Structure 1
Amino acid sequence: MRSDYSGSGLHGSGFSDAELAARIAEGAGEILLGVRHGDLLSGRHLGDVGDTMAQAWIASVLARHRPADAVLSEEAADVGDRATAERVWIIDPLDGTRQFASGSDEWAVHVALTEGGKITHAAVSLPAKGRVFRSDTVETTTGPLSGRLATSRYASYEVSWVSRELKLNPIPIGSAGAKAMAVVTGEADAYVHAGGQYEWDNCAPVGVALAAGLHCSRLDGTPIVYNQPYPYMPDFVICRSELREDMLASLAEIW
């Protein structure tokens, strides 16, 4: 797998937070590719095994390397006083389980560290595409606009509205991480979501997108704050900075 980072990232007696996030995202991706090996599993069974194995490995790594930090993960119970902790890792061991189980390459691993509700380090792995993006080394998204909008299989009213108003051609892409990284790489200009997600669905993608110079906010333009007591994230937008004003003005007409 080709990682979009270089160097060992070692400091002191262990890994830096940035390096640890990237290594976890890449390592979990390798495990998930192994789960797919030989087409020995398929469908829901494949997805369940992938979720379970990636979660177990990530939990063990964080317990060893950051035992004092709290963790919020899609595949683990949200217990204790996580919402009052200063440092919280927000994890999605397998973003896009349906895509993973169906043989698609549009799934991801999300790893982010938040401090005081803000993302400090993030990594998104697209294992089937052999890529790992990390917030401390990702390149700024530049170049001409693509005229494309990353969408889910079934577009919401908000997505359809933005597509029409800003003349963006919708392109269906699988998981949330895959959609967000399409904006980071310039394949798409925006990703608008209004159908409800949880923090683990978008925390790491937003962290990488912000580091790439993209605009990220709630649909009403307010900042995204993580590590909430109830980690539901109903809406957000990721878009090229050039589109920020037009995007938010368009959304303000319906949101």
Structure 2
Amino acid sequence: MLDDDGAGGGADDLKLIAEAAQEAGRIAMGYFRRDPKVWNKENNSPVTEADMALDTFLGNELRRARPDYGWLSEETTDDKARLKHDRLFIVDPIDGTRAFIHGEDDWSVSVAVVEAGRPVAAALYVPVPGELYLATSGGGAQLNGGVISVSQRSELAGAHVAGPRSLRGQKTLMAAGLDQDVHIRSLALRIALVAAGRRDGAIATRHANDWDLAAADLLVQEAGGQLTDLDGRTLRYNRLDVRHPVLVATSTTLRASLSEIVRSVLD
């Protein structure tokens, strides 16, 4: 069982979810590159026995420690009981399942605590390189204990932007001079790389879900950037519909120009 030194609150919650995410990553590595069982869900997206094992572990550990919190996970049937809770866990046991299946490195374990519709604690663990991203509301963002911040690039031309494969070769983006990176399957990791200043921006197509975004949203916010829709609105979580519109994550200096160019392609 995980240690727990309190009944809730920013520091206690962060400690809890950080430990849980890392232990979940260790469990996942027991399946990684070992031909785990794979099947398709109703929406035709893949899921593995590792996804389900992590979902069970995280659900048991986190809900035991905080029985008064709600729960939303990609791999748990959503019974809408979460809507009665002001504070809840939002979890993606393996974000980037396709990367996990193919033995690639770009998958992550994403855990957030959300209160009143916004994330207040976030842990994103990337098991293969052993990278742990952490943030609390008002407390900044860290990667493996070091403070991180977004890039301060002010020009779109030459900006290194991570996006979905559907954007590969888009002439409008190429004409704007964007250096496109379409090889990061985990959306949460794509956004976390912006928080760490490793990418200048990231793009999410329509219908990303709460569990893809909540932890990474807080990371980029606490690193001095923004995750918004194309009109600059911040996201709200734990609504009846957990899906979101087209999004961009970047610095405040690039948000408007990146949103404009993405709107011309996707919106």
| TM score, norm. by length of structure 2 | 0.82
Work out the CA distance in 2 between the residues paired with 1:40 and 1:61: 25
- 1:141 maps to which residue? 149
- 1:150 maps to which residue? 162
1:219 aligns with 2:230: yes
1:181 aligns with 2:192: yes
1:228 aligns with 2:228: no
Contact map agreement 1:162 1:168 (CA 8 A) in 2: no
- Letter in structure 2 aligned against 1:134: L
Work out the CA distance in 2 between the residues paired with 1:208 and 1:35: 28
Task: Give the counterpart of 1:41 among 32, 35, 42.
Answer: 35
Deviation at 1:53, TM superposition (A): 0.7
Work out the CA distance in 2 between the residues paired with 1:162 and 1:21: 40
Deviation string 1:21-51 (CA, Å, 9 cap, x unpaired) is 2112111111101122xx4324727951111
Superposition CA RMSD, Å = 2.6
Work out the CA distance in 2 between the residues paired with 1:104 and 1:26: 18
- Sort the Cα spacing of 1:162 and 1:70 in 2 relative to 1 into closer, same or farther, 3 A: farther
Q: What does 1:201-220 align with in structure 2 at a 5 Å threshold?
A: 201-220=212-231
Work out the CA distance in 1 between the residues paired with 2:171 and 2:232: 17
- Sort the Cα spacing of 1:113 and 1:53 in 2 relative to 1 into closer, same or farther, 3 A: same
Unaligned runs of 5+ in 2: 40-45
- What is the number of residues matched between the two proteins? 243
- Sort the Cα spacing of 1:127 and 1:174 in 2 relative to 1 into closer, same or farther, 3 A: same
- Letter in structure 2 aligned against 1:238: A
Deviation at 1:144, TM superposition (A): 6.0
Q: Sequence identity of aligned pairs in percent?
A: 26
133-142 vs 223-232, which moves further: 133-142
Deviation at 1:13, TM superposition (A): 6.9
Work out the CA distance in 1 between the residues paired with 2:257 and 2:135: 26
- Sort the Cα spacing of 1:12 and 1:206 in 2 relative to 1 into closer, same or farther, 3 A: closer
Say which structure, 1 or 2, has more relative contact order (CA 8 Å, 6+ apart). 1
Q: Which secondary structure state, in structure 1, belongs to the residue aligned with residue 255 of structure 2?
A: helix
Unaligned runs of 5+ in 1: 1-8
Work out the CA distance in 2 between the residues paired with 1:249 and 1:171: 19
Q: Which secondary structure state, in structure 1, belongs to the residue aligned with residue 230 of structure 2?
A: coil
Contact map agreement 1:183 1:189 (CA 8 A) in 2: yes
Q: What does 1:45-64 align with in structure 2 at a 5 Å threshold?
A: 48-64=48-64
Deviation at 1:135, TM superposition (A): 0.8
1:163 aligns with 2:157: no
- 2:211 maps to which residue? 200
Contact map agreement 2:150 2:194 (CA 8 A) in 1: no
Q: Which secondary structure state, in structure 2, belongs to the residue aligned with residue 92 of structure 1?
A: strand
Task: Give the counterpart of 1:16 among 12, 17, 27.
Answer: 12
Deviation at 1:249, TM superposition (A): 4.0
Deviation string 1:197-247 (CA, Å, 9 cap, x unpaired) is 111011111111111111111122112101011211232210122212322
110-119 vs 159-168, which moves further: 159-168
- 2:21 maps to which residue? 25
- 1:89 maps to which residue? 89
Contact map agreement 2:37 2:49 (CA 8 A) in 1: no
- 1:104 maps to which residue? 104
Contact map agreement 1:51 1:75 (CA 8 A) in 2: yes
Work out the CA distance in 2 between the residues paired with 1:197 and 1:47: 17
